[in-house]
Structure 1
Amino acid sequence: MTPRPTGADVAASPRGAAGAADRPDRSAAPARPSGGGRRRSSSRLSARTRTRLEIAFFTGPALVLLGLFIVVPVLQAVRYSVFDWNGLGPLDDFVGLDNYARALGDTVFTGAVVNNFVIIALSIAIQLPLGLAIALLLNRDIRGRGFLRVVIFMPYVLAEVVAGVVWVLLLQPNGLVDAVVEGVGLGGLTQLWLGDPDIALGTVMVVLTWKYLGLAVILFLAGLQGVPEDVYEAAQLDGASWWQVQRRVTIPLLGPTIRTWGFLSMIGSLQLFDMVWILTGGGPANSTVTMAIYLINQGTERGLYGYASAVAVLLFVISLVLAVLYQTFVLRRDNEVAPKPRRAAR
């Protein structure tokens, strides 16, 4: 029989010594934390500071330019708008809100506001379905679609001055448009396309549609590239027709692109000046005048810079209100974030 080892023998053995070394000494005082936590906090603070400096470095120049070229001019326009000022000399003839009351009571200005809203409505009503139809057609695998895309987009990249002068030449009496109308046997339909107050705005809308339709088509085509192919395949497997696929799949998925284009079209229509100015100058009989044209007429042509500043402020306020309303009720769905799932109760 092997004798049982005593405590002294176990302690003297190598295994016993190792076990004794592995066991913690309960009588020893707990070790104090070193300065590593303080160093980590300092490094986090420096990283946070570096991030703030990077943000300030990249956004600072943009904010300076924004202030110089947007905020300061707007504030200056507000200041000038409460004076009767001709652009020269000191601002000493304070009139308060009289310039605003005068603008709101002028039938030419209110007619310009109506024209701007008519242009907004017609631009969306005409260019949206037409642009969608052309984009859906050019998105298919057809021969020459690259060339057709260039042809559709070419008017948009043309300078407004060039496009406007070309259309003035085409639409003048006995111009190319009248020659084509007479050539197809419809000579009785020739009109003073830009000289008749009853049809001048409609003629301007045709030119504007030709000029800016390419932007809508290109944006819609870009949106179509983001629609997954498996969505179309799943719809076809379910037996959906081509029209059903476009109506229930493609157009809903193009919603963000369509809403963004609508915002750009609305703001561009409110600020419309150059094309209408070249085509008609706001005439005949103020039938095509816009707010921007009215502003230029009052400021540069009549020298009423204080009154023109009030008109500019009104244009800015109208644009801002419409932009906020559009952002709140139309673009809001594109900015909504899906709610985070709640944690299960323990």
Structure 2
Amino acid sequence: MGKKRTVGFSRFSEVQTAWLFMAPGLVLLALFTFWPIIFSVPLAFTNYSVIGETSFVGLDNFKRALSDVDFIASIKNSLLYMIIVPFIQIISILMAILVNRNIAGIKFFRAAYYIPVVTSMVAVAIIWGWLMSSNGVLNYLLMSIGLLDEKINWLSDKDTALWALMFITLWKGLGYYMMIYLAGLQSVPNDCIEAAKIDGASNFQLITRITIPLLKPYVFLCTLISLMAAIRVFDEVFVLTSGGPGNTTLTSSVYIYQQGFEQFEFGYSSALGLIVSFIIMFFSIFIFLFNRKGGVNPY
């Protein structure tokens, strides 16, 4: 009996210790994430004023959103941004396969691929703004090999600005998803790979018929994360173009920010945020419904 009590007390102490370590983070999340989300729901049905009277307007903010040309354009751009999701997953899987090798200097390459993830978006914006300017390195290289006849300001041209931002997002996020897939690859038993090689499987067959099916839970997780990030993209757009030229790079998050913190229409901004949240929820449910069992089964 005494032994059981000791074990129970030990487990209870471990739970208390775990909550103690999580407490600072949970407090910050409650203050700066959960509370604003909860408060924004009733705020979406009001005409909120910082200095004046706040009045209940019902569904007027949502009706206004449906006829708001700029908001509709921002939603289209956010949905178009989802094009990068399959590319970022495929490339990051290939990168993870490349760095999942026991060769000299492999840790250096893993760190190098991950550097863009931890680099400040302001620093990234300065670098890519210089590279993609009309007198930048990108134009020089493309003109020197004959792919361009005249200079293009990639971030100021209506035809190229959004695609340039997508490329920057792709470049910056590859290392993050590569590390997740690398963790998944290291859990894949080598017996499966060796058996397939003995049976004469090519490298392409190893990737498509063994590696990716075993990585299916990781693919599902990364696809879900990257899809939500694509719809909510903010940093790159806000720092590099602020939604311009015109509204060709205006995304939903940037427009919500502009309405809330530049126009001070917090009620309308909250309503827009709820609409975007429902869009993200729809795509998340869609991914969950099409998810199937896969990956490594330890049993």
TM-score grouping bracket, smaller chain normalisation: 0.7 to 0.9
Aligned to 2:64: 102
Q: 1:6-21 counterparts in 2 under 5 A?
A: none
CA 1:333–1:110: 2 relative to 1, 3 Å: farther
1:70 aligns with 2:33: yes
CA displacement 1:215-254 (0-9 Å, x = unmatched): 1222222211111111122112222222222221111111
Aligned to 1:278: 239
Q: What's the offset of the Cα at 1:331? A: 5.0
Aligned to 1:119: 81
- Tell me which of 303, 310, 319 is aligned to 2:271: 310
Please tell me the residue identity of whatever aligns with 2:37.
V
Alignment TM-score, normalising by the size of structure 2: 0.85
1:265 aligns with 2:226: yes
Q: What's the offset of the Cα at 1:189? A: 5.2
Q: What's the offset of the Cα at 1:332? A: 6.3
Alignment TM-score, normalising by the size of structure 1: 0.74
- Tell me which of 306, 326, 329 is aligned to 2:289: 329
Aligned to 1:208: 169
Q: Give me the whole-angstrom Cα distance separating, in 1, the residues matched to 2:282 and 2:240.
A: 29
Q: Give me the whole-angstrom Cα distance separating, in 1, the residues matched to 2:117 and 2:24.
A: 31
Aligned to 2:53: 90
Backbone CA RMSD of aligned residues: 3.3
Q: Give me the whole-angstrom Cα distance separating, in 2, the residues matched to 1:54 and 1:240.
A: 50
Contact 1:156 1:212 in 2 (8 A): yes
Contact 2:213 2:294 in 1 (8 A): no
SS in 2 for 1:188: coil
Q: What's the offset of the Cα at 1:74? A: 2.0
Contact 1:127 1:209 in 2 (8 A): yes
Q: Give me the whole-angstrom Cα distance separating, in 2, the residues matched to 1:141 and 1:59.
A: 36
Q: Give me the whole-angstrom Cα distance separating, in 2, the residues matched to 1:51 and 1:158.
A: 36
CA displacement 1:309-341 (0-9 Å, x = unmatched): 211222233233433443x32456369x999xx
Q: What's the offset of the Cα at 1:301? A: 1.6
Q: 1:214-293 counterparts in 2 under 5 A?
A: 214-293=175-254
Q: Give me the whole-angstrom Cα distance separating, in 1, the residues matched to 2:282 and 2:216.
A: 23
Q: Give me the whole-angstrom Cα distance separating, in 1, the residues matched to 2:278 and 2:204.
A: 42
Q: What's the offset of the Cα at 1:54? A: 8.3
Q: What's the offset of the Cα at 1:150? A: 2.3
Q: Give me the whole-angstrom Cα distance separating, in 1, the residues matched to 2:95 and 2:196.
A: 22
The ranges of structure 1 where at least 4 consecutive aligned residues each deviate by more than 6 angstroms after the TM superposition are: 45-63
Aligned residues, how many? 298
> Which stretches in structure 2 are left out of the alignment for 5+ residues?
none
Q: What's the offset of the Cα at 1:51? A: 9.7
Q: Give me the whole-angstrom Cα distance separating, in 1, the residues matched to 2:257 and 2:32.
A: 19
Aligned to 2:154: 193
Please tell me the residue identity of whatever aligns with 1:88.
I
CA 1:280–1:49: 2 relative to 1, 3 Å: closer
Q: % of aligned pairs identical?
A: 33
Q: What's the offset of the Cα at 1:76? A: 1.8
* Rg larger in structure: 1
CA displacement 1:275-310 (0-9 Å, x = unmatched): 111111111110111111001111222222221121
